[in-house]
Structure 1
Amino acid sequence: MAITSAGAGSGLDLESVISASVAAKKAQLQQPIITKRNSTQITLSGVGQLKSSISAFTDILDKLSAPGAFNKRAINITQDKDDPVLKMESKSGGSNGQYNITVNKLAQTSRQEGVFDSSTAPLITQDGQLTFKAGDKEFKVDVNAGDTLQDIRKSINGNGDNFGLSVNIVNTADGKAKLIIDSGVSGDGKDLTITGDNAELGIFSTGAAGSAMSQIQAASSAEIVVDGNILKSDTNVFDDTIQDLKLTVLRVSDKDSNGDLKSNKVEITTDKTSIQELVQQFVDGYNALQDKIGTLGKRSSFVGGVKQDDGGALAGDSTTRAISTFMSNLLVSPSESSSTYSTIFEIGMKMDNKGKLSLDKEKFGEAVDKNFDQVVALFGNEKGLAGSLSKGLKEYTKSGGMLAQRTDTLNSDLRSLSQKEVTSNAQLVKYEAALRAQYGSLDALLVKMNNSASALSALQIKDN
């Protein structure tokens, strides 16, 4: 009789014995691997969290150390808020100042109109070409025999070289069609001109005999008066006409009781609120990173002599301590960029006994009022606090840096553990096979002994 499982012949539960032995061997071989893998994965996750938190802070630091980061200007314009005359933006490098600005006129594009009998009847009997020019801009449009006014309009508006010119048709009450062409180009001396290369197209040509088109609006420049100085722009935007300012005129200035245009007062001051918000981002980013370092590096506590599993992913890790120490040391190190302030604690920054930063806005505002340039020097540019912190922290997160090397080592450890697991599984297979051979022999021996005993017993019964 074939034995299908251990103990089947003898009736002993040898399968349970084998299962228990294999389970014990598996725990002996694989539990250290599982424990080590879990620990390595937790550490790897911790390194990833630390790297992400450092990157979030360096993003803030890079913003603070960028050129013009602290060049925040508050702009107040005396005008009707619901119907403004102009708007102004301060660019990088802008400075405080006051201006009296009057908007004399807005920039206008050139416009032509012409009346035709129909928009749908064929207008041209031979092929030709129209040329549109405004200032230094020019494009050409082919006109085909049989084209209607609508066809020509579509060809002009859809031309790939069109510089912004637009054509529209208005059907009038008397059944005729009014063609309206706007050049889209403003500025003195940039009137639209239209020329055709054959006699038929003369109906569109500017100044040609028999032309249906006439100019109803000339192109002109915007004109403003700044503190008595007349300034012009081809468009309604005056970009750097006033150094480091971008001015957009929206309408002509209001008139006074005498009918003269009134000026609008523009006052540009340091925007302390925006600068404080920028520095507050530094404070919040610094505290967030220190919090993350504290959470990751927290050691497990003990209750009644029993270790609690409440430690951080990088508990006891020297990297977290090194980063925290680097940041706190840099905060108290004398500045190399400011000749007035040694550290940020002289301009309203505070640190509590847990290493958390806070900002005294009143004291900081006073420092900005008295020594704006030195406050900027303390924080900004590459040698300022923000730039120095960013440079130092990026040494940890850069490719080939400490955290990258740590990540590579941990991933290598995980691969090694996976290989050990494969090896241990092979050992378990061999171990189980050996057990089955051993207990199979025992089972066969017991079956033989039982059979012999049964035969002897049968002989004794027969002799009696």
Structure 2
Amino acid sequence: MASTGSITSAGLGSGIDIESLVTKLMAIESQPITTLQKRETSYQSKLSAYGVLKSSLSSFQTTADAIGTATKLASYTATLANTAAATATTSESARAGSYSLSVTNLAAAQKVRSAGYASQTATITSGTLALNLGTLSSDGTTFTPDSSKAVNIEISAAKGTNTLSGLRDAINASSAGVTATIVNDGGSSNAYHLMLTSKDTGTTNAFSVSGIDGLTYSPASTATGNQLTSVQQATDAKFSLDGINITSASNVVSTAIDGVTLTLTGTTTTATTLTVASDTAAIQKKVQAFVDGYNSMMSLMKSQTKTTSSTKLTSSTSTSSTSSDGPLAADSTVRTIQNQLRSLATSSVGSGSITRLADVGISIDSSGTMSLNSTKFQAALASSPSGVANLFTKTTSSNGIASQVSEKITAYLGTDGLLATRTDGIQKTITSMDKQIENLQNRMDTIETRYRKQFTAMDSMVASMNSTSSYLTTQFKSLLTSYA
């Protein structure tokens, strides 16, 4: 009998497509893995949907926080009768009021200039330039340097600072509190002047210059031998509010009136009126943001939990059977959040004429959409500003709706809140599924190896039998021929 030899390709000996057969058998064996993977994909979608929900809740909480306290809800405008004297802005801590403002002096930065030089590369005498910031007395006669603010600059060719432009750059690179520029006066000779200016206004930011011939200066009016020329003296702003005299090193003053920042721009000959009043349009804008945030959040939860008549619930975690269902179809946790926030939005707060959102023109229609009636809201603000504030904010006697919403969302988003508990459970399920899939995959590898070993053995046996059959057929034909 002839030898069959070794089989080098599955099915070569038998003619059977073993590769295709193994592939189809493994597809059947792998169905549990496919089922688990589909379930895991569903859970991953839920986890992702919860992430989007957390973000939406956080955004809504931001709008609630913006009106959760009386200070945050309140908005004010500040106007001046004489706009040439000053401008004003307000912050959350402002309060309504009227003030008489007089401005007698504006704050200014000290500024000095050098004599003219032939060019920007003109040579400066080598040595050490000393810049000293300090305080100029109110009458301008005395300058007191601050040793902690003294800066020394080496003037030398080696440092590249012994030219007009080199010195300018060295001063600007230092922490001297002084800015240096070069001004060209357009003259035919010695047209370039070094200009030194305090970075900040006020008499506490005056400065002296010494150490280099041609560049010495003291801001005191009693000083002698100044080689730099004064262009502008350091001065403080001086103004009064309702007869109270105030001095400031800066023209921008935020400490005179709580919540009001004044920017002085000119002096006055007669007092002007500064009026701080409630900005009802800005308050409505904040409340409208709360309304919009509520609608956005509710719309998201509605789409996430959308179900159809064919949706099947297998446990506390819903499993949707239709592609039109939301990723959190019929999820009880989201339903709980929806119901609790909707209940807060329709609840009653405190006592008096304004206790519900409807009392200030905020309503919720049959579809769950919240809307704000501007006319009714402005009327409520005009008749009872404190009542409107109490409806939204937290006070010593009651907790307003916006404040309650923020507190509720904080609980939802906390490490032991509803959402954390739910997402932790989903993540644990996904981790468990990953382990099951891994174990099943290892089992599939073993099964596939076994199938291939069995079919290879079968293939060899069939090949051997075919070879034997061929041999016997040949022998029988030979015998028949010899006896014919």
Q: 1:321 to 1:202 in 2, by over 3 A?
A: closer
Name the counterpart of 2:317. Answer: none
1:332 deviates by 3.2
1:50 and 1:10 mapped to 2: Cα distance?
A: 60
Among 394, 407, 432, the alignment partner of 2:451 is 432
Per-residue CA distance 1:239-290 (angstroms, 9 max, x = gap):
231333111012334xxxxxxx354443322111111111111111111111
Matching residue of 1:297: 305
Give the aligned partner of residue 212 of structure 1.
227
In the alignment, structure 1 residue 327 sits paired with structure 2 residue 341:
yes
Question: CA deviation digits over 1:383-415, x for unaligned, max 9?
Answer: 432232223223333335224413422431442
Match of 1:99 in 2: 99
Please show how residues 36-47 of structure 1 align to structure 2 within 5 Å.
36-47=39-50
Please report the RMSD computed on the Cα atoms of aligned residues, expressed in angstroms. 3.7
1:408 is aligned to 2:427: yes
Q: Which aligned pairs between 1:9-408 and structure 2 lie closer than 5 A? A: 9-11=13-15, 17-27=21-31, 29-65=32-68, 68-79=71-82, 84-115=84-115, 124=125, 127-128=127-128, 130-135=130-135, 137=146, 138-142=149-153, 144=155, 150=164, 153-154=167-168, 157-158=171-172, 160-166=174-180, 168=182, 170=184, 173=187, 175-176=189-190, 178-187=193-202, 192=206, 194=208, 196=210, 203-205=216-218, 209-253=224-268, 261-302=269-310, 308-335=322-349, 341-381=354-394, 383-400=399-416, 401-408=420-427
Unaligned 5+ runs, structure 2: 136-144, 312-320
Q: TM-score, normalised by structure 2?
A: 0.78
CA distance change for structure 1 residues 331 and 99 in 2, over 3 Å: closer, same or farther? same
Quickly say closer, same or farther: Cα 1:64–1:417, change in 2 above 3 A.
farther
Closer/same/farther in 2, CA of residues 7 and 265 from structure 1, 3 Å limit: same
TM-score (norm 1): 0.81
| 164-173 or 97-106: bigger deviation | 164-173
Q: 2 CA distance for matches of 1:174 and 1:168?
A: 16
The Cα of 1:73 is off from its aligned counterpart by 1.1
The structural deviation recorded for 1:436 is 0.6
- Equivalent of 1:422, from 441, 447, 457? 441
State the 1:458 CA deviation.
4.8
Contact 1:348 1:359 in 2 (8 A): yes
C-alpha change, 1:373 and 1:93, in structure 2 (3 Å) is farther
Write the deviation string for residues 65-86 of structure 1: whole angstroms up to 9, x where unpaired. 3673212113343356xxx442
Worse overlay, 275-284 or 445-454: 445-454
Cα distance change of structure 1 residues 181 and 23 upon mapping to structure 2, 3 Å threshold: closer
Query: Relative to structure 1, is the Cα distance of residues 201 and 9 closer, same or farther in structure 2, using a 3 angstrom cutoff?
Result: closer
C-alpha contact (below 8 Å) 1:202/1:209 kept by paired residues:
no
The alignment of Structure 1 onto Structure 2 pairs a total of residues equal to 446
More displaced 10-residue stretch of structure 1: 405-414 or 238-247? 405-414
Task: Provide closer, same or farther for how the CA distance between residues 87 and 452 of structure 1 changes in structure 2, counting only shifts above 3 A.
Answer: same
Q: CA deviation at 1:311?
A: 0.7
Give 1:328 shift: 1.5
- Given that 1:74 and 1:268 are in contact with CA atoms closer than 8 Å, whether structure 2 keeps it comes out as yes
Counterpart code for 2:409: L
Deviation at 1:312, TM superposition (A): 0.9
Which residue of structure 1 lines up, in the alignment, with residue 138 of structure 2?
none
Where in structure 1 do 4 or more consecutive aligned residues deviate above 6 Å? none
Contact 2:97 2:277 in 1 (8 A): yes
| Amino acid across the alignment from 1:366 | A
**Residue deviations 1:79-115 (CA, integer Å, cap 9, x gap):** 56xxx44210112321112334343332223334453
Question: Whole-Å Cα distance in 1 between the matches of residues 327 and 115 of structure 2?
Answer: 81
Q: Percent identity?
A: 20
